[in-house]
Amino acid sequence: MTASIIDGKMLSAQIRAEIALETAEFTAKTGVTPCLAAVLVGDDPGSQVYVRNKQKACEKAGIASQLHTPPAKISTEELLALIDRLNRDPTVHGVLVQLPLPKQIDERQVLEAVDPIKDVDAFHPENVGRLVQGRPRFLPCTPHGILQMLKRNDIPTAGANVVVVGRSDIVGKPMAILLMQRGEGGDATVTVCHSRTRDLAAVTRSADILIVAIGRPRFVTAEMVKPGAVVIDVGMNRTPDGLAGDVDFQGVQQVAGRITPVPGGVGPMTIAMLLHNTLTAARLQTS
């Protein structure tokens, strides 16, 4: 058996086209163009590519974008001043601080400084709390993208055993919270694995849906996957032989029922959901 591919690139193009139509309707009705301001500190090549892709996606969807590029040596106080200016700018609806930040920056303080109504990454404690309570303002982009992949590929979550490998604040934790919520896209039985999990392979083999987000190239192998399982690979690792996910794609594809590729899987969906959140933010800020 060879797993069928869940094509995130094609699905994200469909969603971005939907967002472009909604954005055009919103702008025609209100005269307001949604605007996303990205803050990119320093000159990390990977972050630069990612932010450029976000800007291109904004342009195609009819969303304005700003790019602020303070130097790598910026202080926390200087960066907070920039965030404050963007918070107070009525033409900016979404503020995105590209991670990781340089070591001298207090990352938590910076993320908490973003106005929750402009926090399109959904990292602010207020937005995380709303997510936990089941009344989110924004859904975190990568977990939301994964939910859309499952929904639009008719992969049910209700009653499914879902294993999430990784407990990061960006993917693992919010992914688990979303999947355990009541209603569409939720109602799953969720297990979260991490570096202290005993007999990890036994746990991952129990998964009907396996979501891997640990940042270790090709870590999950065929022996760790239940035959016919859905495997979502969130990893994006730069290796000497090119980009690789957290899943050994070649081996796992022979066992799984469906699988996401890297690249072309979860990554494009994350950007599509960022556009969705920016439009949502503009709607919330426009009376």
189 and 103 within one domain: no
195 and 79 within one domain: no
Whichever domain contains 77, its CATH number is: 3.40.50.10860
Number of structural domains (the chain) is 2
163 and 80 within one domain: no
* Nearest C-alpha neighbor of 262 from the set 283, 276, 246, 284: 246
Q: What is the pLDDT of residue 287?
A: 74
178 and 91 within one domain: no
Helix or strand holding residue 161 (H, E): strand 161-165
106 and 170 within one domain: no
| Whether 104 is catalytic | no
CB of 110 closer than 8 Å to CB of 78: no
Domain enclosing residue 108, as ranges: 32-115
Q: Is residue 214 part of a domain?
A: yes
240 and 176 within one domain: yes
Q: How far apart are CA 83 and CA 87, in angstroms?
A: 6
Q: How far apart are CA 235 and CA 210, in angstroms?
A: 13
Q: Is residue 7 part of a domain?
A: no
Respond yes or no on whether the N-terminal peptide bond of residue 261 is cis (omega within 30° of 0): no
Q: φ and ψ at 117, to 5 degrees?
A: -80, -10
164 and 104 within one domain: no
245 and 150 within one domain: yes
Q: What is the pLDDT of residue 241?
A: 87
Domain boundary among 99, 115, 131: 115
Q: Is residue 82 part of a domain?
A: yes
Q: What is the pLDDT of residues 105-122, one digit of tens each?
A: 999 999 999 999 999 999
Q: What is the pLDDT of residue 280?
A: 98
174 and 109 within one domain: no
Q: Is residue 258 part of a domain?
A: yes
77 and 146 within one domain: no
Tens-binned pLDDT, residue by residue, of the chain (287 aa): 799 999 999 999 999 999 999 999 999 999 999 999 999 998 777 777 888 889 999 999 999 999 999 999 999 999 999 999 999 999 999 999 998 899 999 999 999 999 999 999 999 999 999 999 999 999 999 999 999 999 999 999 999 999 999 999 999 999 999 999 999 999 999 999 999 999 999 999 999 999 999 999 999 999 999 999 999 999 999 899 888 999 999 999 999 999 999 999 999 999 999 999 999 999 999 97
Terminal CA-CA length for the chain: 54
CB of 39 closer than 8 Å to CB of 95: yes
Look at the block and give the residue holding tokens 């933010």: 281
Residue 260 has a CB neighbour count (10 Å cut-off) of 28
Q: How far is the CA of 34 from the CAs of 91, 119, 137, 273, in angstroms?
A: 8, 14, 17, 14
Please tell me which residue in 115, 119, 121, 233 is annotated as part of the active site.
121
| Whether 121 is catalytic | yes
pTM over 0.85: yes
205 and 159 within one domain: yes
Q: How far apart are CA 174 and CA 40, in angstroms?
A: 24
Listed in sequence order, the DSSP H helices in 153-265 are: 172-180, 200-204, 249-252
Q: What is the pLDDT of residue 46?
A: 72
81 and 188 within one domain: no
Q: Is residue 284 part of a domain?
A: no
Domain boundary among 81, 115, 149: 115
Q: Is residue 231 part of a domain?
A: yes
Q: What is the pLDDT of residues 228-245, one digit of tens each?
A: 999 999 999 989 988 899
Q: Is residue 131 part of a domain?
A: no
Q: What dihedral angle (degrees, nearest 10) is formed by the CA atoms of 7, 8, 11, 12?
A: -160
| Whether 89 is catalytic | no
Q: What is the pLDDT of residue 48?
A: 79
SS3 237: strand
Q: Is residue 150 part of a domain?
A: yes
Q: How far apart are CA 247 and CA 234, in angstroms?
A: 9
Whichever domain contains 261, its CATH number is: 3.40.50.720
For residue 280, what are the contacts with CB-CB under 8 A and spacing of at least 6? 120, 137, 138
